[in-house]
């Protein structure tokens, strides 16, 4: 049985940005025709915690995914980073996914314990909290995506596909 995935990305937030690397990555993944999963893309979320969270939670309710991968841009990073937890007002929620096992065999993925203090952490926290409160059994992770360049694109897409495939097995 095909696993149902919800993949999210953000819109740009600065006037000089041509694109958001999280959205660029989802565009690359959408081009792949060999993934044996059902992928739903929720792209170019507004860079606003409440608006983005509302849209993602609405989509979770609508499609009832098995796995959720929220993605955000991390221009200062050089490889994919999977976030362990998110904080909100001194409360910490962490993913239930075994991240060490998830990234095993990847070319270049780091596990991060700092989701940042921007909209990424707010969305991740909101989704984890919604899943917990609603007792929804979907796996959820947040992946920060560096700026995609010709020299890193192939490896980043391959690592992201590895994450999707491993999540499908959990």
Contact 85, 32 (CB under 8 A): no
- Asked if residue 33 has pLDDT above 80, the reply is yes
Q: With CA atoms as reference, report the closest residue to 141 among 35, 66, 77.
A: 66
What is the reported pLDDT for 119?
94
- Asked if residue 114 has pLDDT above 90, the reply is no
What is the reported pLDDT for 117?
79
- Asked if residue 57 has pLDDT above 80, the reply is yes
Residue 139 confidence class, pLDDT cut points 50, 70, 90: very high
Fold of 4-169: Aminopeptidase (3.40.630)
Pairing mode, strands 80-83 and 109-112: parallel
Task: Show Cβ contacts of residue 11 under 8 Å, excluding neighbours closer than 6 positions.
Answer: 20, 23, 44, 45, 46, 47
Encoded tokens for 76 = 């200062």
Cα(138)–Cα(64) distance, integer angstroms: 8
What is the reported pLDDT for 107?
86
Encoded tokens for 144 = 């920060």
Entry pTM: 0.96
Contact 45, 9 (CB under 8 A): yes
- Asked if residue 17 has pLDDT above 80, the reply is no
What is the reported pLDDT for 84?
97
> What does the DSSP assignment read for 101-144?
HHHTT-SSEEEES---SSHHHHHHHHHHHHHHHHT---EEEEEE
Residue 164 confidence class, pLDDT cut points 50, 70, 90: very high
Cα(69)–Cα(76) distance, integer angstroms: 20
Read off the pLDDT of each residue in 10-35 and give the average, rounded to a whole number. Answer: 90
What is the reported pLDDT for 167?
95
What is the reported pLDDT for 11?
94
Q: How far from 96 is each of 104, 140, 149, CA to CA, in Å?
A: 16, 8, 31
What average pLDDT is seen over the chain?
A: 94
Read off the pLDDT of each residue in 111-124 and give the average, rounded to a whole number. Answer: 91
Taking the domains of the chain in order of start, what are their residue ranges? 4-169
What is the reported pLDDT for 122?
95
């Amino acid at each position: 049985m095909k696993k149902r995935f919800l993949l999210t990305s953000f819109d740009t937030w600065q006037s000089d940005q041509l694109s958001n690397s999280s959205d660029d990555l989802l565009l690359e993944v959408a081009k792949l025709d060999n993934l044996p999963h059902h992928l739903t893309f929720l792209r170019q979320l507004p860079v606003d915690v409440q608006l983005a969270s509302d849209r993602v939670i609405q989509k979770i309710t609508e499609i009832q995914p098995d796995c959720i991968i929220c993605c955000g841009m991390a221009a200062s990073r050089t490889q994919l980073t999977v976030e362990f937890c998110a904080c909100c007002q001194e409360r910490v929620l962490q993913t239930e996914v075994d991240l060490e096992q998830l990234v095993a065999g990847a070319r270049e993925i780091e596990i991060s314990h700092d989701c940042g203090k921007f909209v990424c952490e707010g969305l991740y926290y909101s989704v984890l909290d919604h899943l917990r409160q609603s007792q929804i059994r979907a796996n959820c992770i947040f992946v920060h995506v560096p700026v995609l360049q010709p020299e890193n694109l192939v490896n980043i897409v391959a690592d992201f596909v590895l994450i999707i495939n491993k999540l499908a097995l959990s």
